[in-house]
Amino acid sequence: MQKENQKPTHRDVVPSVINFLSDELFEGDYKEQPLYLQEIFELLMHTEFGDDINLRQKILSCLRTSRNLAETLSPFSEKQIYKACSSNRKLSQ
């Protein structure tokens, strides 16, 4: 209960990001995610729901974030990323 009531600090951010990336690596090829999102969003844009400026802005933001993550991690192999996440995950626990 004490841990739940503590406010997170800036030092809590990196372990959380590492855990996120580690979990994502098990969900499929993260490098392909921007293409998957783009395909989904392009299909959605041709519907009545896609004709909404706020939705389109959110879609573009999601695509940008996904592309940035893929670009940031692209120089590294999946094995390197997995190894880094695994070793850092152990340190954060």
What pLDDT, on a 0 to 100 scale, did the predictor assign at position 3?
Answer: 57
Can you tell me the distance from the alpha carbon of 5 to that of 57, in angstroms, rounded to the nearest whole number? 35
What pLDDT, on a 0 to 100 scale, did the predictor assign at position 88?
Answer: 64
Can you tell me the distance from the alpha carbon of 4 to that of 9, in angstroms, rounded to the nearest whole number? 13
What pLDDT, on a 0 to 100 scale, did the predictor assign at position 1?
Answer: 46
Tokens of 63: 């695509």
Q: What is the mean pLDDT of each run of 10 residues along the chain (93 residues)?
A: 61 72 64 84 85 86 87 84 71 52
Residue 11 burial (C-beta neighbours within 10 Å; 0-12, 13-18, 19+): exposed
What pLDDT, on a 0 to 100 scale, did the predictor assign at position 82?
Answer: 76
Q: Which is nearest to 21 in space by CA: 63, 84, 91?
A: 84
Radius of gyration of the chain (CA): 17
